[in-house]
Amino acid sequence: MREKVTRALEAAVIAGELTPGTIYSAPALAESFGVSATPVREAMLDLVGEGFVEPVRNRGFRVLEVSDADLDEISEVRLLLEIPAVSRVIGKLTSDRIAHLQTLAQAIEDAAAAGDLLRYLDSDRRFHVDLVSSLGNSRLTELVDRLRRQARLFGLRELASQGDLLTSAREHTSLLKLICDGDAAAAEDLMRAHIVHTRGLWAGHQSRSS
């Protein structure tokens, strides 16, 4: 239960549904999630350690602000790490790993179409992390995972309801096909476009230059 609540709260923070700068009490969040206050309080403490919130004595937890400069830095580091990674992963994917990534790519699209933000965020994170993990560099995998979880996709629910989230979602299937085809240059170009596009989603509008 604690892990489930943690992931749900994390998704709510990333999607901007828990407003930066606002203080939330564990009982109030527990009521909205339909659970007791204990797992919510434990989950929020986990998120304190991950840099999503900070404790406010006798009041609850404040969602930490993430500035445009922070998001630009996250995007810049992702460009440096993930673009060369997609070309290096060519030829290293087993048939089982390809099937697994195809399943995740489809799950991302299905979740975007259904407006299921929790499933979308979870499948999206797993796709990128599992793709990079094929290189066998645990530190790189951990860093990519951490960077993605530090981002904030403000207005994500509105984008999902308008169908705009599907554009980003479909890029995962296209990227995987390019990797399987061995087209390193096109895969790198698409990863670059995907990260820049995602940076726009983080800001709650279409991407601007990173």
Contact 168, 197 (CB under 8 A): yes
Percent of the chain with pLDDT over 90: 48
How much is the pTM?
A: 0.78
Band of the pLDDT at 147, cuts 50, 70, 90? confident
Domain 68-203 grouped into CATH 3.40.50.150: no
Residue 94: is it exposed, middle or buried by C-beta count within 10 angstroms (0-12/13-18/19+)? Answer: exposed
Query: Given a cut of 80, is residue 66 above it in pLDDT?
Result: no
Q: Among 143-147, 194-198, 199-203, name the most confident range.
A: 143-147
| Fold assignment, 2-63 | Arc Repressor Mutant, subunit A (1.10.10)
Domains 2-63 and 68-203 share a fold: no
Domains of the chain, by residue range, sit at 2-63, 68-203
